[in-house]
Amino acid sequence: MKKGNSSLFFTDSESAESYSLSNQFAENMEFRLVKDRNTATPYDFYYATAMAVKDNLVRKWLRTQNTYNENDTKRVYYLSMEFLIGRLLKNMLTNLSYDEKLAEILERDGLKLEDIVEAEEDMGLGNGGLGRLAACFLDSMATLKLPAFGYGIRYEYGIFKQLIDNGYQVEQPDHWLATGNPWETLRREINYRIKYFGKVISHKDDKGNLWFDWVDTEDVIAMGYDIPVPGYNTDNVNNLRLWAARSTDEFSFQEFNRGNYLQAVENKSTDENISKVLYPNDSYAQGKILRLKQEYFFVSASLQDIIRKYKINHSSMADFAEKTAIQLNDTHPVIAIPELMRILLDEEKLDWDEAWKITTETFAYTNHTVVPEALEEWSVNILELLLPRHLDIIYEINHRFLKYVKQYYTADDEIVSEISLIKEGKEKFVRMAYLAIVGSHHVNGVAALHTEILKNRIFKHFHKIFPGKFVNVTNGITPRRWLRTANPKLAELITNKIGSSWAKNLSDLRKLEDFTNDKKFLKDWQDIKLENKKKLKDYIESEHNIKVNINSIFDIQIKRFHEYKRQLLNVLHVIDLYIQIRENPDKEFTPRTVIFGGKAAPAYLQAKMVIKLINNVADVINNDPQVGDKLKIVFLKNYSVSLAELLIPAADLSEQISTAGFEASGTGNMKFALNGALTIGTMDGANVEMAEEIGEENMFIFGLLSDEVVKLKESGYDPKEYYDANPRLQRVVSIKISV
Which amino acids are annotated catalytic?
368, 559-560, 565, 667, 671
Pairing of strands 678-681, 700-701: parallel
Element (H or E) spanning 583, and its range? Answer: helix 567-583
Q: How far is CA 195 from the centre of its chain?
A: 27
Tally of CA atoms within 13 A in the half-sphere of 554 that contains its CB: 26
Phi, psi of 425 (to 5 degrees): 160, -170
Residue 647, beta-bridge partner list: none
Element (H or E) spanning 214, and its range? Answer: strand 210-215
d(CA 371, CA 358): 31
The backbone region for 706, taken as left when phi is positive above 0, alpha when psi lies in -120 to 50, beta otherwise, is: alpha
Q: List, in sequence order, the alpha helices (H) in 365-484.
A: 380-386, 388-408, 413-419, 432-438, 448-453, 460-465, 479
d(CA 425, CA 380): 11
Provide DSSP, 624-677.
-TTTTTSEEEEEESS--HHHHHHHGGG-SEEEE-PPTTT----SHHHHHHHTTP
d(CA 453, CA 232): 35
- Amino acid symbol at 647: L
d(CA 513, CA 501): 16
What 3-state DSSP class applies to 7?
Answer: coil
What 3-state DSSP class applies to 19?
Answer: helix
d(CA 99, CA 649): 19
Other CB atoms within a 10 A radius of the CB of residue 69 amount to 13
What 3-state DSSP class applies to 124?
Answer: coil
Terminal Cα distance for the chain, rounded: 48
Other CB atoms within a 10 A radius of the CB of residue 614 amount to 24
d(CA 434, CA 359): 15
Tally of CA atoms within 13 A in the half-sphere of 590 that contains its CB: 5
What 3-state DSSP class applies to 222?
Answer: strand
Beta-carbon contacts of 553 under 8 Å, excluding residues fewer than 6 positions away, are 590, 591, 592, 593, 652, 653
In the DSSP assignment, the letter for residue 237 is E
Phi, psi of 572 (to 5 degrees): -65, -40
Nearest to 613 by CA among 578, 659, 570, 658: 570
Beta-carbon contacts of 257 under 8 Å, excluding residues fewer than 6 positions away, are none
Cβ(150)–Cβ(135) under 8 Å?
A: no
Rounding to the nearest 10 degrees, give the CA dihedral for residues 125, 130, 136, 141. Answer: -100
d(CA 364, CA 376): 17
Pairing of strands 210-215, 199-204: antiparallel
* Long-range contacts, 199-203 (Cβ 8 Å, 24+): 199/388, 200/388, 200/389, 200/392
d(CA 658, CA 664): 10
